[in-house]
Amino acid sequence: MSKSKEWAQNLLSLADVKIGGEKPWDIQIHDERFYGSVAHRGSLGLGESYMNGWWDVDKLDEFFYKVFKADLESKIKFSWPAISSFIEGFFLNLQTRSRAFEIGRKHYDQGNDLYKAMLGKSLTYTCGYWKDAKNLDEAQEAKLELVCRKINLKPGESVLDIGCGWGSFLKFAAQEYKASGVGVTVSKEQFDSAQELCSDLPVEVRLEDYRSIRGRFDHVVSLGMFEHVGHKNYRDYMKTVHDVLEDNGLFLLHTIGSSKSLVTTDPWIKKYIFPNSMLPSIAQIGKSIEGLFVMEDWHNFGADYDKTLMAWWGNFNRAWLELSKSYSERFYRMWEYYLLTSAASFRSRRIQLWQIVLSKRGVKGGYMPIR
C-alpha cells in the first residue's frame, strides 16, 4: 500500500468513511492517481479527480457532510494551491474594477438554459426561506417577501438592487409593492434577461460595477452579491451604499458568511466556479460598516441553504438529459460537485447565510425584526 493511500484511509476513518465500503457515504476509488492528487494538491486535487471520474460516492453530499463535521481540513497540511491562493488573496486586490466582469463571464453567463432548468420559475439564484414553504418556488417567493418586509418597502418608493441577477426581486417589488427599482449586474446574460423580465415595469437594469452606481434610493438590497466584493473592498462597498441611500432608508445585505475571517476561497471553487470570490466574516463586515451604519438586525438562516441547494441539484439532475445536448459529462460532474459540496457545507453549519439590516442613523423608536 502506498503512503498516500494509507494516509487517505487513516484520515477518512476519522469521519467514519471507508474506501470501498458499503455505506452510501463510503468512497469508491477507480484510479489510483486519486491518492497522490489529493495528498499533493489538497481540495483542488480532490475536486479535479472527481471531475476526471477517478472516484465516486453514492451520496456525495453525505460524504462531504461527514468530512466537514469531522473537520478533516484542519488535519491536512497546506497544499501548494491553498498556499498560493492565500498569498494572492492577502497581498493582491482580486476584485478590482478591471476584474469586476470576470465573474459574470465565467459563471453567470454559463447559459440561461442551465439556470432556468435549475433555479425554478422565479430564476432566483440565492437561498430560499423555508420557514413555511413546501417547495423551492414557495421558498423563493417567501424570501423575496421577507426582504420587502424587512426594509418596510412602500408603494412609490425606490429600491436599488446591487447584483440583481435575472431581475426576480425587482419584478416582485414592482408588482407586489408598487415600487420602482434600479438593478445592476456584471453579467451580460442576466442584464438581457432582467431587462426582458421587467420590461413593462418601472425598473431600470444597468450593466455596471457597483463602484459606478449613481443616484439616491429609498432603500438598497444586495442578495448574494457581496461574496464577490473581496475583503480589500468591503469598506468602499459600504461607502458606496451609504452615499446612494436616503438618510431614513434601510439597506439589507443578504450574503453567505464564513465563521472565520479569510482572505480567499477554496482553490477548486476559485478555479472552476467563482473566480475572485471569498466569504466575509462577522468581524470583516463589522469593521466595514463602522461609523457608516447602525446594525438593526442580523438573521442567520444558513440551514435553509442546504434545502435550496438540494432542490437545485434535483432540478439540474432531472433536466440533464436535455442539458447534456449543450454541456459535457465533465461539466455534469463539476456542477454536481459544486452543488452537493455546497449543500454539505451549510448542513454541517460550516458556512452561514445572513440577512443583515442596516440604517444610517438608527430607526426612530427601534427596528422590529421580521421573521
Q: What is the pLDDT of residues 142-153, one digit of tens each?
A: 999 999 999 999
Helix (H, G, I), strand (E, B) or coil at 333: helix
Given a contact cutoff of 8 angstroms between Cβ atoms, the answer to whether 42 and 81 are in contact is yes
Rounded to 10 degrees, what is the CA torsion of 331, 335, 341, 344?
A: -150
Per DSSP, 74 falls in state G
Q: How far apart are CA 161 and CA 244, in angstroms?
A: 12
Alpha-carbon separation of residue 86 from 12, 30, 122, 199, 335 (angstroms): 25, 31, 36, 43, 24
Q: What is the pLDDT of residues 221-249, one digit of tens each?
A: 999 999 999 999 999 999 999 999 999 99
Q: What is the pLDDT of residues 121-161, one digit of tens each?
A: 999 999 999 999 999 999 999 999 999 999 999 999 999 99
- pLDDT band for position 89 (cuts 50, 70, 90): low
Q: How far apart are CA 119 and CA 128, in angstroms?
A: 11
Query: Grid coordinates in use for 57?
Result: 460516492
Q: For 260-264, what is the mean pLDDT?
A: 90
Q: What is the pLDDT of residues 35-83, one digit of tens each?
A: 989 888 889 999 999 999 999 999 999 999 999 999 888 777 656 566 5
At the second CATH level, the architecture of 97-359 is: 3-Layer(aba) Sandwich (3.40)
75-106: b or e for each residue (b if 16 or more CB lie within 10 Å)?
A: eeeebebbeebeeebeeeebbeeebbbebbeb
